[in-house]
Amino acid sequence: METYLYLTSVVGVYIGIGVFVVGMAWRIYQWSTTPKSPVRLGLFPKPATSTGRGLKMLKDTFVAPHSARIEPVMWGFAFAFHVAALAALIGHGRLVVEYTPLVRLLGGDGMSTFAAWSGGTAGIVMTVAVLFWIARRTYGPFKQLSVPEDYFLLFLLLGIIVMGNHMRFLGHVPVETYREWFQSLLVFRPVMPAEIANSNVGWSLGTHMLFVNVFLVYFPFSKLVHTIGAFSANLVRSE
């Protein structure tokens, strides 16, 4: 167990984050050095002012009304997934630093209850959304349009989320212990608390991190870069 955790949750995290940062820098360099299209690619109706363009870009990126019109059910699941992913991301921030004002407001127990409910809800919503996407690509017309990468990414996400849910619903390791591990990585003096290794969630943390690392390594080279590319792509739409 110690070796598995060391490989996946110490060495693997450094490799994952390292490849992600270098890969994204390379991507952004590529985007910024690609010659601009001489043809205007904007679609009507186009806002007249640059503020209008900026606001339209934000709306197209965060609300995606064109997707809502074309495939409303898919849009519903996608919207719910992204809101839940944002909530989980904010929750993961506690691995770096405790949200002390919120703890003062809710009390220690109140904060744990809030984290259990919000993290648990986010995990369930994300699971349902990914299962919907897998079903959508497995049955019906989208099967013909799907390539192996689509399934790979969806199963990778499912693996990350299910392992996270296992820790959230069946684990008893307090966030302070996870924080001790994660902060130690950030200051390059890694420790893996024995409490994690000896708990019932040692394997699930290791596997969560194994999948997260693959996700980070793969991210800059996959269609997931839309997370960042969507902003500029949507800006071009109103040029």
Where do contacts with ligand HEM occur on this chain (CB under 6 A)?
Answer: 85, 88, 91-92, 95, 119, 122-123, 126, 157, 160-161, 164-165, 167-168, 171, 175, 178, 182, 205, 208, 212, 215
CB of 116 vs ligand HEM, minimal distance in Å: 8
2, 196 Cβ separation under 8 angstroms: no
Residue type, 185: L
CA-to-CA distance for 103 and 110, rounded, in angstroms?
A: 8
In our burial notation (b when 16+ CB lie closer than 10 A, e otherwise), range 14-38 reads: eebeebbeebeeebeeeeeeeeeee
CB of 7 vs ligand HEM, minimal distance in Å: 15
Nearer to ligand HEM, 122 or 197 (CB): 122
CB of 164 vs ligand HEM, minimal distance in Å: 2
CB of 76 vs ligand HEM, minimal distance in Å: 19
Q: Which residue is nearest to ligand HEM (CB)?
A: 164
CB of 112 vs ligand HEM, minimal distance in Å: 9
Give the Cβ contact number of residue 134 at 10 Å: 17
Closest CA to 153 of 224, 89, 59: 224
Task: State both tokens at 68.
Answer: 């809502």
CA-to-CA distance for 170 and 165, rounded, in angstroms?
A: 8
DSSP structure class, residue 187: T
How far from chain centre, in Å, is Cα 85?
6
Nearer to ligand HEM, 136 or 208 (CB): 208
Nearer to ligand HEM, 213 or 238 (CB): 213
CB of 15 vs ligand HEM, minimal distance in Å: 12
Nearer to ligand HEM, 91 or 202 (CB): 91
17, 217 Cβ separation under 8 angstroms: no
Residue 176 half-sphere exposure toward CB, CA atoms < 13 A: 4
